[in-house]
Amino acid sequence: MICDSALKSEQLKILEATYAGAVPELKFGSTFELLIAVILSAQCTDRRVNEVTPQLFSEAKTPTAMLELGQSRLEELIRSCGFYRSKARNILGACRKIVDEYDGEVPTTFEELIKLPGVGRKTANVVLSVAFREPAIAVDTHVFRIANRLKLAEGVTPLEVERGLQKVIPREKWSDAHHWLIWHGRKLCKARAPLCGECPLKNCCPYVG
């Protein structure tokens, strides 16, 4: 029987080899655009967000321009992302705070980011990791599912899983590992019908064992 730590190390080694170089699926051209795209991605696919943001960002590339759109026009542009009214309110609220308190620039710390309307731990960690190259593990539905199935980090809340993953993954690989787990969830370890027979982790996965 492989010991728990050795099993987790093997799982991470396979994930890294399989998904080396993985990058976010969301399309963006600036830190601000990344922030808005991640807010829009809540309970929505990245593919759908990528269909919406080209038109949105062609009209509003900055917090000030986004505020000038107003609630109605913003709702119209993001309607297909779902929960468009609350997302529009949060985006405008975040933009107002960025303009008023941060001179129009997206704040660079976790503590500041989570003060923005519509920004929770996941969104803040994505921005820190992708835009500012800070070690962070954002726990979305894919990361949560895979971490629990592999028993890499078991937990009933995203925060429990985040802290568990931080313990087993070297800090310098936190941001990369976030993408390994996301892409594994999208491609193979799907929520309803995981493709276990095709999975490179099938010999070291408790879920199929």
What's the rounded Cα separation, in Å, for the pair 15 and 17? Answer: 5
**Binning pLDDT at 50, 70 and 90, where does residue 1 land?**
very low
Instruction: Please count the other Cβ atoms lying within 10 Å of the Cβ belonging to residue 137.
Output: 28
**Binning pLDDT at 50, 70 and 90, where does residue 209 land?**
very low
Q: Catalytic site residues?
A: 122, 140
pLDDT tens digits for range 127-163: 999 999 999 999 999 999 999 999 999 999 999 999 9
**What's at 89, amino acid-wise?**
R
